[in-house]
Amino acid sequence: MASSSHADDVSDAQTGKKSKKTKNQVDESELLTVPDGWKEPAFTKDDNPRGLLEESSFATLFPKYREAYLKECWPLVEKALGEEYIKPSLDLIEGSMTVCTTKKTFDPYAIVRARDLIKLLARSVPFEQAMRILQDDVACDIIKIGTLVRNRERFVKRRQRLIGPKGSTLKALELLTNCYVMVQGNTVSALGPYSGLKEVRKVVMDTMKNIHPIYNIKTLMIKRELSKDPDLRMQCWERFLPNFRHKNLSKRKEPKKKSVKKEYTPFPPAQPESKVDKELATGEFFLRESVKRRKKMEEIKVKQAEALTKKQEKRNKAFIPPKEKPLMKKTVKAPTEGKLDIEALKEKVKKAKTKKLGAPPVNPAPPSSSTSNKKKKNKNKG
């Protein structure tokens, strides 16, 4: 009895553990999904009534061409940051912008937003867009692309590919990610929600790695449509997403002459035969000096005779006349098998005689005096 009761306790404990696990899993999945329409409450002065303990500041440099624009829009920057109790300052001599907290500043994260604002203004982002960084649900990301491609021409082409014809690719990316994207020099500035910034960074990095942005844009469009369906929201989307394979078209050129590697042997190659060894093999080594000389002279005479005949042939080539082409072309004989139709030929000749060649004259010439005299004479004779 005791053993059976102990077994029941163990089974209850196991089921309890399993139920706890399932509860935790459900809780985690609920935490991952943010309810629609939920918004984080704004940070007010009541949350931090005493303010900040120490003053903190950030500074950034800006290029010379931005000086005129910043000078023009600086009053608006001061007004926007004044609401957050942050003091901005513009130094045109050094070419820098600085933001620092004051005694009235209550939001500790406001200085970080102000730092991002001056960074975006330095990266050629217009003030109307850069001002959005002061909102709670908006963040920014400055992606450095200058060092990703070594070749300058290739870098310019890929950067242009990201912008697209008349900025169409960039506009499509902005609409799909709900972010403002600005391509300027060696950086890409993005401004928008956190989820959108993640996608923008992925597209930009892939474009610099020679993956066309249209593939990523197509994937984003599919994801957007799938997120609208509440049944598919918690499912895996891999079966719906396109799987683009990278095709390497530029194949390595193979050499014409392929060198075949010989098998490795630890032994060195055989020593080449010397002159004495060759003479010993043929038996010339044992001949007398006079016989050797005579044999050498005979070999030299044979070589000289061959050289003379070759020279004589070269000289005689100039006196040989070239082959002349025939002046008259070979006439093709008419086939004798088919009999000629004489009657048909006669008719053709008759028709040719009756036909008047050429157009008739517009103004017929008057009869000449000589012809009229001849006619008169003929009448008198008659």
Structure tokens at 3: 């053993």
pLDDT mean across residues, the chain: 81
When pLDDT is averaged across residues 227-253 and rounded to a whole number, the result is 76
pLDDT in tens, 42-84: 888 888 888 888 899 999 999 999 999 999 999 999 999 999 8
Report the first-to-last Cα separation within the chain, whole angstroms. Answer: 171
The least confident of 244-248, 289-293, 342-346 is 244-248
- Was domain 137-245 assigned CATH 3.30.1370.10? yes
32 pLDDT band (50/70/90 cuts)?
Answer: low
Tell me, what's the pLDDT at 307?
Answer: 94
147-180 per-position pLDDT tens digit: 999 999 999 999 999 999 999 999 999 999 999 9
Length, in residues, of the chain: 382
Domain boundaries defined on the chain: 43-136, 137-245, 275-315
Looking at per-residue pLDDT, the higher value among 280 and 23 belongs to 280
List the 187-192 sheet strands across, edge first: 139-144, 187-192, 180-184
Cα separation, 108 vs 85, in Å, equals 11
Higher pLDDT, 189 or 324: 189
Interhelix angle 194-208/213-228, nearest 10 degrees: 150
List CB contacts of 101: < 8 A, sequence separation 6 or more: 52, 55, 56, 57, 85, 86, 87, 110, 111
* Phi, psi for 88 (deg, rounded to 5): -95, 150
Alpha carbons 18 and 251: distance in angstroms, whole number: 56
Question: Quick one: average pLDDT of 328-344?
Answer: 62
Distance CA 85, CA 104 (A): 6
The pLDDT assigned to 28 comes to: 58
Whether pTM exceeds 0.75: no
Q: Is pLDDT above 70 for 261?
A: yes
Query: Do the domains at 43-136 and 137-245 have one common CATH topology?
Result: yes
Buried b (16+ CB within 10 A) or exposed e, 248-287: eeeeeeeeeeeeeeeeeeeeeeeeeeeeeeeeeeeeeeee
Residue 249: CB partners within 8 Å, gap ≥ 6? Answer: none
CATH class belonging to 43-136: alpha beta
Query: Do residues 306 and 313 touch, judged by C-beta distance below 8 A?
Result: no
pLDDT, tens digit, 9 for 90 and up, residues 80-122: 999 989 999 999 999 999 999 999 999 999 999 999 999 999 9
Q: Say if residue 128's pLDDT is above 70.
A: yes
HSE, CB side, 13 Å, CA atoms: give it for residue 53: 0
